[in-house]
Amino acid sequence: MKVYEIIATEAPSGRSHGPKQGWKSYCKNTARKNMSSSWESGCVSRGYLSRQTGKSQLIGNKRVDLDGKRIASQQHGGPVSPTRTG
């Protein structure tokens, strides 16, 4: 058995945890109505799709409306916190 056969990363039981062509190209080339809800929320949290919400957050010292903006969450290097209302 070779080392690359041992450490190969395969999705367990054939399930995929994201699009095969990469998140950015998937989010840019697929219409929202054709995405599953979990993949759509993944695109929004990465900042590739605009947010559709009436909420705002404190980013720095200013309150910013999130509706219609493409802002990434903190998990992906952006300023938007998933739980902070500010």
Evaluate if residue 5 carries a pLDDT over 90: no
Q: Token pair of 84, please?
A: 């902070």
Amino acid at 22: G
pLDDT in tens, 20-49: 888 999 999 999 999 999 999 999 999 999
pLDDT for 37: 92
48, part of any domain: yes
Evaluate if residue 17 carries a pLDDT over 90: no
Number of structural domains (the chain) is: 1
3, part of any domain: no
- CA-closest candidate to residue 26, choices 44, 14, 12: 44
2, part of any domain: no
Average pLDDT over residues 53-60: 87
14, part of any domain: no
Mean pLDDT across the chain? 84
83, part of any domain: yes
66, part of any domain: yes
69, part of any domain: yes
Query: Residue 65 forms beta bridges with which residues?
Result: 56
Cα–Cα distance, 55 to 79 (Å, whole number): 14
Q: Are 48 and 69 in contact (CB under 8 A)?
A: no
27, part of any domain: yes
Domain extent at residue 45: 19-86
Average pLDDT over residues 8-23: 68
